[in-house]
Amino acid sequence: MNYGPSPGQYGYASGRVDMSGVAPMPVNAGMTAQNAIMSRLQPQIQQSDAALQQRLANQGITQGSEAYNNAMRTQQQGENDLLNQAALSGVNVDMSANQQGYTQAANNTQLQNQAIAQNFGQGATSAGLYNAAQNQLFGQNLQAGQFANTAQQQSMAQQLGLYNQPLNQITALMSGSQIQNPTFQAYTGQNVQAAPVFQGAQAQGNYAHGLYGQQMAGYNAQMGAIGALAGAAGTAAGGIWSDRLLKRNIRKIGVHPIGVKAYEYDIFDRHERGVMAQDLIEVMPEAVMLHPSGFMMVNYDAIGGRP
């Protein structure tokens, strides 16, 4: 008798968020973004220092004088303010990237947990239907066994009556008494209930309805995640969304010069032309990128543009 699904058959909900795709915070606050900003500020700072020194020399202000030192001190204070602003901007950029990556990882974990819960619920429903069928079969077998026992008892009574009939006749002839007719126990049949076909069909219909609801919930969760992607920028790090799972109304229009099929399709409420990332990864995997959401993107610059 099956008593329900084992949780081990379906896995457990993930207790941790996968942080492998999250942008790491720098070792020193603002290091990564600050270096990028400073690469643009450093030539400007050097040019400003040279211009100040030339201007002071033209004014006859010699190096080491009080006027020269005051001018250089003011210049350095301005440079320090500029560097502090660059550091603050770098920290903000790093924190924003880290938060965005963590949110995407948390959303992916939530979708995985929902799929595991739906799978477990389907297994529990299936096990419940199986147990109901087992109980019904057990009841039918029990009634069949009782019917067989009753039939056997009646057969034994009939054989005993047939056995006693000659003895009754001999006794009657010897004593002159009336011959006794044999008596048999009245037949009592068992009430075997008909198979509950309607109840089974109704249970199957309820199961199918519940399964459809679970599938729609999973589909809605997936479409919600896709909608969140659509709300973001159409490109990321040089890539363009080109995963087959994100596209609708797909129609082949030819072949891209790189050798893969070209299509027209709708994606994120836009009509576009392009290739499928799943096709391109077989020919030029370096032109395909995997987004932290799990969907693939294509670098069209690497393949010479769209068809």
Query: Three-state SS string across the chain, please?
Result: CCCCCCHHHCCCCCCCCCCCCCCCCCCCCCHHHHHHHHHHHHHHHHHHHHHHHHHHHHCCCCCCCHHHHHHHHHHHHHHHHHHHHHHHHHHHHHHHHHHHHHHHHHHHHHHHHHHHHHHHHHHHHHHHHHHHHHHHHHHHHHHHHHHHHHHHHHHHHHHHHHHHHHHHHHHHHHHCCCCCCCCCCCCCCCCCCCCCHHHHHHHHHHHHHHHHHHHHHHHHHHHHHHHHHHHCCCEECCEEECCHHHCEEEEEEEECCCCCEEEEEEECCEEEEECCHHHHHHHCHHHEEECCCCCEEECHHHHCCCC
Residue of 257, 275, 256, 277 lying closest to 265 (CA atoms): 275
* Residue 9, pLDDT score: 55
Domains: count for the chain = 1
User: Is residue 299 in some structural domain?
Assistant: yes
pLDDT tens string for the chain (307 positions)? Answer: 455 556 565 555 555 667 676 666 554 555 566 677 777 778 888 889 899 999 999 999 998 999 999 999 999 998 888 888 887 887 787 777 777 777 777 777 787 778 777 877 777 777 777 787 888 888 888 888 887 888 888 888 888 888 887 877 787 777 776 666 666 666 565 666 677 788 888 888 888 888 888 887 776 666 666 666 655 545 455 689 999 999 999 999 999 999 999 999 999 999 999 999 999 999 999 999 999 989 999 999 999 999 9
Residue 272 half-sphere exposure toward CB, CA atoms < 13 A:
19
User: Is residue 161 in some structural domain?
Assistant: no
User: What Rg, from alpha-carbon coordinates, does the chain have?
Assistant: 43
User: Is residue 80 in some structural domain?
Assistant: no
User: Is residue 175 in some structural domain?
Assistant: no
Residue 242 half-sphere exposure toward CB, CA atoms < 13 A:
28
User: Is residue 245 in some structural domain?
Assistant: yes
**Cα gap 107→294, rounded to integer Å:** 11
- Which domain range does residue 260 map to? 235-303
All residues at 6 or more sequence positions from 130 whose CB lies less than 8 Å from its CB, including other chains: 2
User: Is residue 240 in some structural domain?
Assistant: yes
* Residue 27, pLDDT score: 46
User: Is residue 272 in some structural domain?
Assistant: yes
Residue of 297, 280, 281, 278 lying closest to 236 (CA atoms): 297
The 10s digit of each residue's pLDDT in 244-281 is 999 999 999 999 999 999 999 999 999 999 999 999 99
User: Is residue 74 in some structural domain?
Assistant: no
